[in-house]
């Protein structure tokens, strides 16, 4: 007992001496203040992440979140950002704009994140962006292609191309490659992405000399498309353009086949889901869609990413995984380049980013949109097959 007490005394004395020593020597003095900073600096940098991991776009959210996490883990394994660990605070917006607005408010006001990566669907990013802008919290949507998203303010960026480009690519492909002259369009009027992409497509296809024989909108949540498809098929189309999310596209393809349509159905990035084929089955074979990424790319950076992702998650990355990964990497690079977690500094660093991602080279134009190429994928025997790359 006595022995223990003496030992304790000696240890405490030694500690006091050691402490004094460091305070008295010049270098020790620095050390102490850097110790104080160290407690501050040790605190992780909080990054908000938003994606729909449940609801009608759940496969989008799952892939995107995996992309976020993989990027974050790689940075942490290399020592973090600005010497600090980065931590993801993730919110599921269920592809619902009200949920997205709540998620952005919570991340900013309660969690005090320094930046947000998200959301995925354009309507959700459009709900979140004004909140990020108002609070001067930099945001990058990995995947939202509707042109209005980055128009919400100078703190809002995106990692993907925009729909006026995507619609143009589809129109040229249908007109020039598939030689379609008469096309019917079917789209969800309740989604900014679908309505915007349908419009961009129509404009370009008509300017090429093609004819839109029917332009059919349907309300969000529709599962029976027979009315719209019947009107479209009455016009004897060469092809159908369906720029919607995968659940709808799968059903639309099935119902169009039941009504006797055997031609190609073409869509946009919203087709990129393993559920498309699960729902559409044979009906989506020999159909095409525009996308951001193909895992078949021979580029080394892509092949390394595909391998790492497959090892980690046991499945191949889709465009959402790749864009989630690029989006998070761009944001973390910007924070590192800014040398600070200050919102304005990060925003300025984002403006000047020059980043080689797995979905292409990313530099922002004056509207904070990257100029990137698109790929066209074909569905053959239930598998996505790379067709071609189209540059801006
Ligand atoms: N571009 C879609 C949107 O804006 C989201 C998406 C991106 C879906 C990539 C699939 C693949 O809503």
- 282 and 170 part of one domain: yes
By residue range, what is the domain housing residue 123? 45-161+297-372
> Is the CB of 290 within 6 Å of ligand 1?
no
The pTM assigned to this predicted structure is 0.90
Q: Write out pLDDT tens, residues 331-357.
A: 999 999 999 999 999 999 999 999 999
Residue 37, pLDDT score: 52
Average pLDDT estimate for 140-161: 98
- 305 and 283 part of one domain: no
The beta-strand segments (E) located in 66-204 are 86-92, 115-117, 139-141, 156-158, 182-188
- 227 and 345 part of one domain: no
CB atoms within 10 A of CB 262: 7
- 270 and 307 part of one domain: no
- 98 and 150 part of one domain: yes
Q: How many domains does the chain have?
A: 2
**pLDDT exceeds 50 at position 11:** no
Contact 225, 197 (CB under 8 A): no
- 181 and 275 part of one domain: yes
- Which tokens belong to 34? 């850097």
Of 53, 48, 75, the residue nearest 65 (C-alpha) = 53
Average pLDDT estimate for 249-276: 98
Q: Write out pLDDT tens, residues 85-106.
A: 999 999 999 999 999 999 999 9
Best substitution site from 270, 323, 327, 358 to test ligand 1's pocket, by max atoms within 8 Å of Cβ?
270
Domain-located, residue 144: yes
Sequence-ordered list of residues with C-beta below 8 angstroms from that of 125, at least 6 positions apart, any chain: 100, 118, 119, 141, 144, 146, 149
Domain-located, residue 230: yes
- 121 and 200 part of one domain: no
- 241 and 150 part of one domain: no
**pLDDT exceeds 90 at position 45:** yes
- 247 and 325 part of one domain: no
Residue 39, pLDDT score: 54
Choosing from 238, 273, 291, the residue where a domain stops is 291
Best substitution site from 61, 97, 193 to test ligand 1's pocket, by max atoms within 8 Å of Cβ?
193
Domain-located, residue 27: no
CA–centroid distance, residue 110 to ligand 1 (Å): 28
> Is the CB of 63 within 6 Å of ligand 1?
no
> Is the CB of 357 within 6 Å of ligand 1?
no
Domain-located, residue 102: yes
Domain-located, residue 267: yes
> Is the CB of 146 within 6 Å of ligand 1?
yes
Best substitution site from 65, 120, 122, 128 to test ligand 1's pocket, by max atoms within 8 Å of Cβ?
120
Average pLDDT estimate for 25-44: 53
CATH code for the domain in which residue 231 is found:
3.40.50.2300
> Is the CB of 120 within 6 Å of ligand 1?
yes
- 287 and 312 part of one domain: no
Q: Write out pLDDT tens, residues 268-293.
A: 999 999 999 999 999 999 999 999 99
**pLDDT exceeds 50 at position 211:** yes
> Is the CB of 193 within 6 Å of ligand 1?
yes
- 273 and 365 part of one domain: no
Choosing from 269, 291, 313, the residue where a domain stops is 291
Whether the bond between 330 and the residue before it is cis, its omega within 30 degrees of 0, is no
Domain-located, residue 35: no
Distances (CA, A) of 169 to 42, 137, 165, 388, 389: 47, 33, 6, 11, 10
Closest ligand 1 atom number to CA of residue 149: 4
Average pLDDT estimate for 173-191: 98
- Three-state SS at 377: strand
Residue 42, pLDDT score: 80
């Amino acid at each position: 007992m006595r022995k223990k007490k003496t030992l304790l005394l000696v240890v405490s004395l030694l500690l006091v001496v050691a402490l004094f020593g460091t305070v008295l020597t010049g270098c020790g003095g620095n050390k102490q203040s850097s110790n104080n900073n160290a407690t501050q600096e040790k605190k992780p940098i909080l990054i908000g992440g938003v994606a729909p991991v449940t609801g009608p776009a759940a496969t989008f959210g799952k892939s995107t979140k995996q992309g976020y996490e993989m990027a974050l883990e790689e940075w942490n394994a290399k020592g973090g950002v600005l010497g600090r660990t980065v931590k993801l605070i993730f919110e599921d917006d269920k592809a619902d704009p009200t949920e997205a607005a709540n998620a952005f408010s919570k991340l900013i006001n309660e969690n005090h994140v320094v930046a947000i990566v998200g959301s995925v669907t354009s309507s959700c990013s459009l709900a979140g962006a004004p909140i990020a802008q108002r609070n001067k919290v930099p945001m990058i949507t990995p995947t939202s292609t509707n042109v209005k998203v980055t128009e919400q303010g100078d703190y809002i960026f995106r990692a993907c191309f925009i729909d006026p480009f995507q619609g143009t690519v589809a129109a040229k492909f249908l007109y020039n490659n598939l030689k379609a002259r008469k096309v019917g369009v079917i789209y969800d009027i309740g989604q900014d992405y679908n309505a915007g992409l349908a419009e961009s497509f129509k404009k370009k296809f008509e300017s090429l000399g093609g004819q839109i024989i029917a332009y059919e909108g349907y309300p969000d949540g529709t599962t029976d498309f027979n009315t719209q498809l019947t009107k479209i098929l009455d016009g004897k189309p060469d092809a159908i353009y369906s720029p919607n999310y995968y659940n709808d596209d799968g059903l639309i393809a099935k119902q169009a086949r039941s009504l006797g349509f055997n031609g190609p159905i073409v869509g946009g990035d919203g087709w990129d889901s393993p559920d498309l084929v699960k729902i559409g089955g044979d009906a989506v074979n020999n159909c095409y869609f525009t996308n951001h990424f193909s895992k078949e790319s021979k580029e080394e950076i892509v092949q390394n990413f595909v391998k790492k992702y497959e090892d980690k998650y046991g499945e191949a990355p889709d465009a959402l995984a790749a864009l989630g990964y690029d989006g998070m990497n761009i944001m973390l690079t910007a924070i590192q380049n800014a040398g600070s977690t200050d919102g304005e500094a990060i925003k300025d660093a984002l403006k000047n980013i020059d980043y080689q991602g797995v979905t292409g080279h990313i530099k922002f134009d004056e509207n904070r949109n990257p100029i990137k190429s698109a790929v066209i994928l074909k569905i053959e025997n239930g598998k996505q097959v790379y067709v071609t790359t189209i540059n801006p």
